Amino acid sequence: MRPILTPAFATTLILAGGAQADDAALRSMAKEYFEPIPLQAPMLENNVISRDRVDLGAKLFFDPRMSRSGLFSCQSCHNVGIGGVDGLETSVGHGWQAGPRNAPTMLNAVFNIAQFWDGRAPDLAAQAKGPVQAGVEMNNTPDNVVATLKSMPGYVEGFDAAFPGESDPISFDNFALAIEAFEATLITPNSRFDQFLMGQDGAISDQEKNGLQLFVDTGCAACHAGINVGGQDYYPFGVVEKPGAAVLPEGDKGRFAVSETADDEYVFRAAPLRNIALTAPYFHSGKVWDLKEAVAIMANSQLGAELEDAQIDDIVAFLGTLTGEQPEVVHPTLPARTINTPKPAPM
């Protein structure tokens, strides 16, 4: 865990009508913290983003037969139409069980330092193996996933094409790699903020520019920086003042469960703020539905700052500029089951 940084640019408000010189200064400052989402999926270290692999991953992502019940797919909790989330406090999974944490978005997740609120998966492939096996989520087993895939000629062909030359392409590892390849394409470029970063002065309003300045001056950008405006490192929730148990449930000690280090109690990955206006409710507990309230809680608990209402409004306006172009995904036609396909077992 990195220490909390002091804001590097404790500048005063410089906006007075959005004059060109001010825009240039604001942009220059912002570029010290942030960078735009690229137009295309990035290269990955241990995976290949081929069209065949992405197409296969899309099928797997949308296929509810990857769950034991036949009800849940990745898409159930990471909805491509709702900013990559499910809009629930915490997800509901197998047997109508409530999951422990709010579902994070998979949009732009490829740019996070690691996956899950506690960063326990180093990449999207490792992440993809989690929910499919979790008893409160998809409640499946790798063996049953592989048997399901091998039972359908459409998947046999899909894995052959996506993993050419492999002798036994249908494996749980390759299942995860294909999903990672698809998810790496789920990025949201050209937000109005990114357009501003790239030189379009008028892409964001004066109020939004004011919010950007406040976001940096107040210290938010100390943790919420980088390409995803967050998602790059881990910090304790409640640096200055712990929020109440309603927002920060005592039973969930965050990264402590991963590292077993006392310093990591209530430590979480700083939430990536891309598309944050689309992904209520907020925090790992999903207890806060209003982005204004979330900003106020963060300012107070992490920075000891009591923001005025108008300041919060400006920051929320700025956060709205982080909504990018949502991915356009054709719902895949899924391979037909056969009589050898394991039957779903919801009950």
H/E run at residue 92? strand 92-93
Q: Are 78 and 65 in contact (CB under 8 A)?
A: no
Which residue, 55, 344, 342, is CA-closest to 179?
55
Nearer to a second copy, 284 or 287 (CB): 287
Binding to a second copy by residue 329, rule CB under 8 A?
Answer: yes
User: Whole-number minimum distance, CB 292 to a second copy, in Å?
Assistant: 8
Residue 137 designated active-site: yes
- Which entry of 89, 137, 183, 208 is annotated as an active-site residue? 137
Among 22, 52, 65, 243, binds a second copy (CB under 8 A): 65
Q: How far is CA 329 from CA 3, 162, 332, in A?
A: 39, 19, 8
Among 23, 63, 194, 264, binds a second copy (CB under 8 A): 63
Q: Are 211 and 315 in contact (CB under 8 A)?
A: yes
Nearer to a second copy, 63 or 217 (CB): 63
Tokens (6 digits) for 70: 């036949």
User: Whole-number minimum distance, CB 48 to a second copy, in Å?
Assistant: 24
**Dist. CA 138–CA 238, nearest whole Å:** 32
Binding to a second copy by residue 330, rule CB under 8 A?
Answer: yes
Binding to a second copy by residue 346, rule CB under 8 A?
Answer: yes
Q: Which stretch binds a second copy (CB under 8 A): 80-88, 130-138, 157-165, 174-182?
A: 80-88
Q: Which residue has the tokens 């979790």?
A: 134
Binding to a second copy by residue 208, rule CB under 8 A?
Answer: no
Which residue, 198, 183, 171, 146, is CA-closest to 38?
198
Binding to a second copy by residue 95, rule CB under 8 A?
Answer: yes
Binding to a second copy by residue 134, rule CB under 8 A?
Answer: no
Binding to a second copy by residue 62, rule CB under 8 A?
Answer: yes
User: Whole-number minimum distance, CB 228 to a second copy, in Å?
Assistant: 19
Q: Which stretch binds a second copy (CB under 8 A): 131-139, 233-241, 252-260, 334-342?
A: 334-342
Contact mark string toward a second copy, 280..319, x via CB under 8 A: x--------xx-----------------------------
User: Whole-number minimum distance, CB 74 to a second copy, in Å?
Assistant: 13
268-270-275 Cα angle (round to 5): 130
Before 122, cis peptide (omega within 30)? no
Nearer to a second copy, 76 or 105 (CB): 76
CA 213 to chain centre: 24
What residues contact 333, with CB distance under 8 A and at least 6 apart? none
Q: Is the dihedral of CA 259, 262, 265, 270 positive or negative?
A: negative
Q: Are 87 and 165 in contact (CB under 8 A)?
A: no
**Dist. CA 322–CA 197, nearest whole Å:** 11
Binding to a second copy by residue 185, rule CB under 8 A?
Answer: no
User: Whole-number minimum distance, CB 89 to a second copy, in Å?
Assistant: 8
What residues contact 170, with CB distance under 8 A and at least 6 apart? 146, 149, 150, 155, 156, 159
Which residue, 45, 235, 67, is CA-closest to 139?
67
Binding to a second copy by residue 336, rule CB under 8 A?
Answer: yes
Among 15, 92, 156, 258, binds a second copy (CB under 8 A): 92
Nearer to a second copy, 95 or 304 (CB): 95
Q: Which residue has the tokens 């004011």?
A: 210
Q: Which stretch binds a second copy (CB under 8 A): 90-98, 113-121, 127-135, 260-268?
A: 90-98
List, by residue number, the catalytic residues.
Answer: 137
Q: Which spans of this chain sit near a second copy (rule: CB under 8 A)?
A: 59, 62-65, 69-71, 76, 79-83, 86-88, 92, 95-96, 98, 277-278, 280, 289-290, 326, 328-334, 336-337, 339, 343-344, 346-347
